[in-house]
């Protein structure tokens, strides 16, 4: 049996949320041996996300944890607690599993090609690949020489030990189980350093497995969704029903 691909998706309530999750489900539904861990940034699981997951046709687990108020500001990394909640679930619920697995962090607004999941599934320890539309460039990527990662093509903080976006790597479940304390950090971590801080705990640059044809193909894009324009919202007396959007 091929390994299961586990995707951890942090998500939060906003006007575009259902559209984002619908688009993601339409991609993930086409991926075999896939398990979606959806972690709401909320004190409670919402009915909107619950109903969407129930009908999405993708094997999933619905989790939630609220980001503490003090971390909900500009200059703070996003979704730290949610990604850690996904890791905690995997360690609790998949430690005894005989099935192999690979874990990937899939933000709800990015764009994922189906080819990416073939690459992810073959990751033995930690795999890396290019990410499109990120870091103020068309793409960032690991630089590869003779099949080994030797550095990073990036326009932003090239001093990062692992200069990759969250969408640019995946980790074998076994590596997460062998490093039970590896987590995303709030303390001492700056925005954009979460990936590096995390990867430092579980691997070295020499050990990284370059994917996507030696990191020469973009299979995932760090797209961002425009905030919905709701300037004409009003409590219209003519509208008698509530419609979930
Ligand atoms: N996110 C979250 N809570 C927040 C802000 C963001 O759970 O308060 C999630 C969001 O849904 C996404 C991930 O964290 O899956 C990254 O957020 P975003 O896409 O806004 O970050 P960026 O694109 O700037 O890296
Ligand atoms: Mn994003």
**127, 169 in Cβ contact below 8 A?**
yes
> Can you say whether the dihedral through the CA atoms of 183, 220, 5, 28 is positive or negative?
positive
pLDDT (tens, 9 = 90+) of the chain, 245 residues, equals 999 999 999 999 999 999 999 999 999 999 999 999 999 999 999 999 999 999 999 999 999 999 999 999 988 999 999 999 999 999 999 999 989 999 999 999 999 999 999 999 999 999 999 999 999 999 999 999 999 999 999 999 988 999 999 999 999 999 999 999 999 999 877 778 999 999 999 999 999 999 999 999 999 999 999 999 999 997 778 889 999 99
The tokens describing 46, both together, are 């919402």
**42, 86 in Cβ contact below 8 A?**
no
Evaluate: CB of 105 within 6 angstroms of ligand 1. no
Evaluate: CB of 11 within 6 angstroms of ligand 1. yes
Whole-model pTM: value is 0.98
- Whose tokens are 């430092």? That residue is 200
Ligand 2 centroid to Cα of residue 19, in Å, is 14
Q: Which helix (H) or strand (E) holds 174?
A: helix 173-178
Evaluate: CB of 36 within 6 angstroms of ligand 1. no
Q: What's the ipTM?
A: 0.99
- What's the distance, CA 194 to chain centroid? 12
Q: Which residues pair with 151 in a beta bridge?
A: 143
Q: Which helix (H) or strand (E) holds 38?
A: strand 34-40
Closest atom, ligand 1, to C-alpha of 166: 25
> What is the SS3 assignment for 177-238?
HHCCCCCCCCCCCCCCCHHHHHHHCCCCHHHCEECHHHHCCCCEECCCCCCCCCCCCCCCCC
Q: Which residues pair with 170 in a beta bridge?
A: 104, 127
């Amino acid at each position: 049996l091929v390994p299961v691909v586990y995707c951890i998706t942090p998500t939060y309530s906003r006007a575009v949320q259902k559209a984002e999750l619908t688009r993601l489900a339409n991609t993930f539904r086409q991926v075999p041996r896939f398990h979606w861990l959806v972690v709401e940034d909320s004190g409670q699981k919402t009915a909107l996300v619950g109903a969407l997951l129930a009908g999405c046709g993708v094997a999933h687990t619905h989790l939630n944890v609220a980001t503490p108020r003090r971390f909900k500001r500009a200059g703070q990394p996003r979704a730290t607690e949610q990604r850690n909640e996904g890791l905690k679930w995997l360690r609790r619920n998949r430690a005894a599993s005989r099935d192999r697995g690979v874990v990937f962090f899939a933000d709800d607004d990015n764009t994922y090609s189906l080819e990416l999941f073939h690459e992810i599934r073959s990751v033995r320890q930690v795999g890396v690949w290019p990410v499109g539309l990120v870091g103020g460039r068309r793409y960032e990527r690991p630089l590869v020489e003779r099949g080994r990662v030797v550095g990073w093509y990036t326009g932003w903080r090239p001093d990062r030990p692992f200069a990759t976006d969250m969408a640019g790597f995946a980790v074998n479940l076994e590596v997460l189980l062998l490093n039970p304390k590896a987590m995303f950090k709030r303390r001492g971590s700056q925005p954009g350093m979460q990936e590096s801080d995390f990867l430092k705990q579980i691997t070295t640059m020499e050990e990284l497995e370059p994917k996507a044809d030696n990191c020469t193909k973009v299979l995932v894009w760090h797209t961002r969704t425009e905030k919905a324009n709701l300037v004409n919202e009003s409590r219209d007396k003519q509208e008698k029903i509530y419609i979930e959007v």
